[in-house]
Structure 1
Amino acid sequence: MFNQSPLLRGRRVLVLAAALLPLASWAAWPERPIRMVVPYSAGGGADNTARIVAQRMGEILGQPVVIENKPGAGGVIGADSVAKALPDGYTVLYDASAFGVNGALRKLPYDPMKDFIPVSLVATAPQILVVGNNKPYKSVAELVAAAKQSPGKLTYASAGAGTGSHLAAEMFNDQARMETLHVPYKGGAPALTDVMAGQVDMYFGNAASTLQYLNGGKLRALAVSSRKRVQGLDNVPTLRESGMPEFEVLEWNGVFLPKNTPREIVERLGKATREAVADAGVRERLMRAGLDPVGNSAQDFTAFIKAESTRWQGVVKARNIKLD
């Protein structure tokens, strides 16, 4: 071995230090507050759930997780801002079911499958097929029979084109081999109002928005969209039990990071998310909102997202669904 000059040795030390600097910063993450972008309005379902989980995540990570609402274009505006953010772990996306659907409905400025790293599925929630209490339908079979007797006459409400309530109803049409008329609203609240008034025949709503009206006798539940019956609605069958063995629709919330985020940060954020969702107080609050807490691995969440995207692409194509 030959002796290196002090200058050469100094350069080697600088190069090594520069190479190790990112590793040191990853090891110290997080050193400042984390921004969690919710691409929907404040006060909505995803926003409320994000705030429940973010508070506990911040306690676990030792830094606040601050919610930033960036609504618009069905979640696309907020998601795009995260896709273009620095992959340093300080900008996180908290998205919902629309993430798996938007690619089939819109031309996106990002690739949902390539520009994000799925971190963890936080929670899922079934939808409930409801009709007004003034309607004669007591079962899915009766509703389907009426729809087939008068094709295109029965109506279904939705919270807007491309929303979960719209797509669930179109999947219902497809699997029941029937045709009903779509009546889109600007949100779930006005849709429910007209369903209860009998102006629209049916609606797929989440538990959080429909349970109070079911308990108050203003709505009748015909079926739930999950594989299993829902706690508190034990007498309401699933759509699978009602003659549609392939039917399953779940609303969901989950955490994502921009692509190229260091693996160590992905793993640490995933661990914090799972710990937060497993917390007894968080679970109670999520379940009170009609959600089923999950908290899974990045690998499982990635597989879930791929399955969701593939399925909704098929439904959108089969039903020729377009955004007006």
Structure 2
Amino acid sequence: MTLDRRQFLASSAALALSGLSLPLHAQNWPTRPIRLVVPYPPGGSSDIIARLISEPLAAELKQTVVVENKPGANGNLGAGLVVQSASEGHSLLLCDVGALAISPSVYTKLTFDPSKDLRGVSMLAYSPHVLAVHPDFPAKTLAEIVELSKTRRVNFAVTAIGSAPHLAAVAVEQATGAKWEYVPYKGGSQALTDTVGGQTDLIMNGLLATLPHIKSGKLRAIAISKAERMELVPEIPTISEQGVKGFESGTWQGIMAPSNMSDATAKLVSEKLGEIINRPDIKRKLGEQGAEVVVRPTKELDAFFVKERDRWATIVKSADIRLD
């Protein structure tokens, strides 16, 4: 072998090694099945969206996508599991991004820091909260509910203490002088079940998961937490027009990933998700249930997370909500 030949082979090996030194995710991700973690029980808004996008995402990425429900601690258990899986590089988190942004203000002993240990991949959809009651509940408007709460116990079902629906309810309570008796659950699906069954009077929950119960007559809508009435349900007045001026809240479903995911991989997944969630059949299914497709790429999602964290921290502090 001549010297030139040896030099050529050495240069080729060096180039190959330099390529291998790049993050694996940037070159040929995914190399194994993807775990899509939903940190809430089945039947909620995040779970509904996960089931809609998992098969199309698997087809686009040419890898199996397995949806796993890991409820607990208001979504923090599932989020923590995704953070812990950072080294294997194939776990994604589909959650209410706003709820995750609340956690650092509420929980004193989080095992992870969402702002540092997770990164945004893509926002997917927005579903406003809807305030609804059991059909036999006597009050018909927000004002009537507020007055009733001053004379009798009004049991208010919340998906979890410190959740986005809970803080939205607290904000309405503070603005109106109402007096709710909060009944916490481990997820929206069970809170809905008990309100439908009459065990609780009132619920604030994402419209995506709640609208089927309203359409069936099992719940009666009082108000929606959007700035303006929705074309889908124009008969439901807003909270703002019932006295809490400018009030707006909701669930923001998005995909997060461990912070060590490469920019190239995050961009790949974000682009695939943006295409999938905007497909006419998926967009139609979500729209029929009260969710709007809202796609925001990685950096915009990170900025949104920071804004939501700061926004809700004020309400958490004023209500003195702290959990271990």
TM-score (norm 2): 0.85
SS at match of 1:183: strand
The partner residue of 1:138 within 126, 132, 140 is: 140
Match of 2:82 in 1: 82
Match of 1:99 in 2: 100
Equivalent-residue separation in structure 2 for 1:21 and 1:200 (angstroms): 58
SS at match of 1:229: coil
Give identity over the alignment, percent: 33
- Give the unaligned 5+ runs of structure 2: none
Match of 1:272 in 2: 272
Q: Is the 8 A contact 1:89 1:265 kept in 2?
A: no
SS at match of 2:252: strand
Which is further off, 287-296 or 168-177? Answer: 287-296
What are the within-5 Å matches in structure 2 for residues 1-324 of structure 1?
14-23=13-22, 25=24, 26-86=26-86, 89-97=89-97, 98-106=99-107, 107-147=109-149, 149-150=150-151, 153-185=153-185, 187-188=187-188, 191-192=191-192, 195=195, 200-323=200-323
Q: Is the 8 A contact 1:35 1:68 kept in 2?
A: yes
Equivalent-residue separation in structure 2 for 1:122 and 1:35 (angstroms): 18
Equivalent-residue separation in structure 2 for 1:180 and 1:16 (angstroms): 66
Q: Deviations over 1:7-48 (max 9, x none)?
A: 888666544432222449523333443222222334443223
Is the alpha carbon distance of 1:28 and 1:311 closer, same or farther for their aligned partners in structure 2, counting shifts above 3 Å? same
Equivalent-residue separation in structure 2 for 1:49 and 1:14 (angstroms): 45
Equivalent-residue separation in structure 1 for 2:298 and 2:310 (angstroms): 18
Quote the offset at 1:110 in angstroms.
Answer: 1.3
Which is further off, 224-233 or 102-111? Answer: 224-233
Is the alpha carbon distance of 1:70 and 1:213 closer, same or farther for their aligned partners in structure 2, counting shifts above 3 Å? closer
Equivalent-residue separation in structure 1 for 2:111 and 2:170 (angstroms): 26
Equivalent-residue separation in structure 2 for 1:27 and 1:186 (angstroms): 39
- Give the unaligned 5+ runs of structure 1: none
TM-score (norm 1): 0.85
Is the alpha carbon distance of 1:60 and 1:306 closer, same or farther for their aligned partners in structure 2, counting shifts above 3 Å? same
Quote the offset at 1:76 in angstroms.
Answer: 2.0
CA-based RMSD of the aligned residues comes to: 3.0
Q: Deviations over 1:110-132 (max 9, x none)?
A: 11111111011111111111233
Q: Is the 8 A contact 2:43 2:209 kept in 1?
A: no
Is the alpha carbon distance of 1:239 and 1:47 closer, same or farther for their aligned partners in structure 2, counting shifts above 3 Å? same
Is the alpha carbon distance of 1:288 and 1:18 closer, same or farther for their aligned partners in structure 2, counting shifts above 3 Å? same
SS at match of 1:102: helix
Q: Is the 8 A contact 1:127 1:206 kept in 2?
A: yes
- Give the letter for the 2:17 counterpart: A
SS at match of 1:81: helix
Q: Deviations over 1:241-294 (max 9, x none)?
A: 222223211112111121132211111111011011111122123234432222
- Give the letter for the 2:250 counterpart: L
SS at match of 2:242: coil
Count matched residues: 319
